[in-house]
Amino acid sequence: MKAKVTVRLKSGVLDPQGRAVQHAAESLGLQGIQEIRLGKVFDIELETTDETEIEKILETLATKILANPVMENYEWEIIQS
């Protein structure tokens, strides 16, 4: 089974990488971009098809490894394969 965990900076947290991309867009002449924020997406392939087990794995992964709970939010979804 496949799953996807998306990790984003919390809304108050400064995002210099996103700002850099936004500036690059402006130098390219792209107008009307108000904000760009950069996050991470983890595409995960799992052996099991048991959704309860997958949920447990994803929760542990997200809270212990993928996201820093002080600065980041996460969300995950299971993708039927």
> By C-beta, is 30 or 79 nearer to a copy of itself?
30
> By C-beta, is 44 or 70 nearer to a copy of itself?
44
The least CB distance from residue 16 to a copy of itself, in Å, is 14
The least CB distance from residue 41 to a copy of itself, in Å, is 4
Long-range contacts of 63-72 (CB under 8 A, 24+ apart): 66/5, 66/7, 66/40, 66/42, 67/7, 71/9, 71/10, 71/13, 72/7, 72/8, 72/9, 72/10, 72/13
Query: Would you tell me which residues interact with a copy of itself (CB under 8 A)?
Result: 6, 8, 18, 21, 24-25, 28, 30, 32-48, 53, 57, 60-61, 64-66
